[in-house]
Structure 1
């Protein structure tokens, strides 16, 4: 506890915060090697076990990678929207599990991201993106709930990838990794997945035709349908 009565964070957390600041500020660049464990001990005045705990924390947040061997060490990770979104997913699931945020909040954020993302995807998509979207179309007559949820997630991941904007990917991916998705899916009314399938196919048609206006309209109507189908009336 500090002199002002505040509880001090553990030493490993303080060291991790210092290193994180160096990484996020750009002072340590992707691929660059961090100081060695003995160097970090000497620089920070902490034990080797504290240094290792700090490095484990940074690795769990996908900020560094550690390799073994003569040329091994800890290196700043190359940023990956998919890896970094895992950290956001943890926070999102915590909010959902504690009822701090609900389905209405989730759909509100989805709408704010998915609608402009659909328009950007229509403008920027490549033939490779089209192939990924086609491969992620639903088959409600043959798929069980697990397969439907996985395919639904893959479709939207392919859609945001088609924007060519890694920030869309980083922010959108966690929205399809919520821990209560099976519970929500269980409340879906009859015909729900069939309509989701129709929406996805129409969205694909607009993206393929590079119809940004049409993609915007379909994406907004898609969220409206999900909200109407899954959110109980007040």
Structure 2
């Protein structure tokens, strides 16, 4: 590995973390130990640790029992990092609405079936709370409820990777592609689709949930493509 000394050190420590050699929650060697091991100054070590902290790979605490510890991964942090990358690709027009929605189809359609099979009563109640009345809910509240509904479905599958990978896609779609230009009837259609999905998941009808989610995402694809065209025309 080549580059600045701090980057080489950070890369070596990162490799140990992602390989599991340094486990979540484990304390890293102190500055002096890292300085000796890698033959660099302590300022270089500190810069490397700052780089790792900026990537949420480690957390540093002060005090007698302090030090740098490998971060315990969370869905929120992992999803946020992925969302940044997807948003940058969308901003650079390296990915289209159609491509984003195609990936949602691949992930969320089967996920709806898994959610119907594995959901808990608590998740079903969370799903109900995420439904909204399009005649009352407007603005950010509507967007938040829409995203919450899909998040609950993803969580109900029991596979946290689905949320990590999928949540950034609909967040980028909602913020990047002209969400303020929703066509007439859009939110009423979304609310109806969500109500149908809730009922199917409640009945543990996996096949029905798969069909309903496919139809729902078809509705969203057409609407997002229309929003994108309107946004570009401004």
TM above 0.5, one fold?
yes
The Cα offsets for residues 204-226 of structure 1, whole Å up to 9 and x where unpaired, read as 11111111101100111111111
Instruction: Check whether the contact 2:128–2:198 (CA below 8 A) recurs between aligned residues.
Output: yes
Distance, in Å, in 2 between the alignment partners of 1:54 and 1:180 is 36
Q: Which residue in 1 is equivalent to 2:102?
A: 108
Matched-pair contact (CA < 8 Å) for 2:7–2:48: yes
Higher helix share: 2
Question: Residue 43 in 1 paired to residue 33 in 2?
Answer: no
SS at structure 2 position matched to 1:89: helix
Equivalent of 1:175 in 165, 169, 183: 169
Instruction: Give the equivalent residue in structure 2 for 1:32.
Output: 26
Q: Distance in 2 between matches of 1:117 and 1:198?
A: 19
2:184 is the alignment partner of 1:187: no
Q: Is the 8 A contact 2:6 2:44 kept in 1?
A: yes
Partner of 1:97: 91
CA RMSD of aligned residues (A): 2.1
Matched-pair contact (CA < 8 Å) for 1:30–1:79: yes
Structure 2 residue matching 1:178: 3-state secondary structure: helix
* Kept after mapping to 2: 8 A contact 1:61/1:84: no
Whether 1:84 aligns to 2:86 is no
Secondary structure of 2:172's match? coil
| TM-score (ref. length: structure 2) | 0.90
- TM-aligned CA distance change 1:139 to 1:50, over 3 Å: farther
Matched, 1:16 2:23: no
| Greater Cα shift, 35-44 or 191-200 | 35-44
- With over 3 angstroms needed to count, the CA separation of the structure-2 counterparts of 1:141 and 1:10, relative to structure 1, is farther
Q: CA deviation at 1:180?
A: 6.2
| Structure 1 residue aligned with 2:116 | 122
Offset at 1:60?
2.7
What does 1:210-225 correspond to in 2, within 5 Å? 210-225=204-219
The one of 36, 42, 60 aligned to 1:66 = 60
1:122 offset after TM fit, Å? 0.6
Judge which range, 207-216 or 33-42, deviates more: 33-42
Shift of 1:138: 2.2
Please state how far the C-alpha of 1:11 moved relative to its aligned partner. Answer: 2.6
> Measured at CA, do residues 171 and 182 of structure 1 come closer, stay the same or move farther in structure 2, by a change above 3 Å?
closer
Say how many residue pairs are matched.
228
Range that drifts further, 179-188 or 218-227:
179-188
* Structure 1: gaps spanning 5 or more residues: 3-7
User: 1:160 offset after TM fit, Å?
Assistant: 0.6
- Alignment partners' CA distance in 1, 2:104 and 2:199: 21
Worse-matched range after superposition: 10-19 or 127-136: 10-19
Q: Does 1:203 align with 2:205?
A: no
Deviation at 1:90, TM superposition (A): 1.2
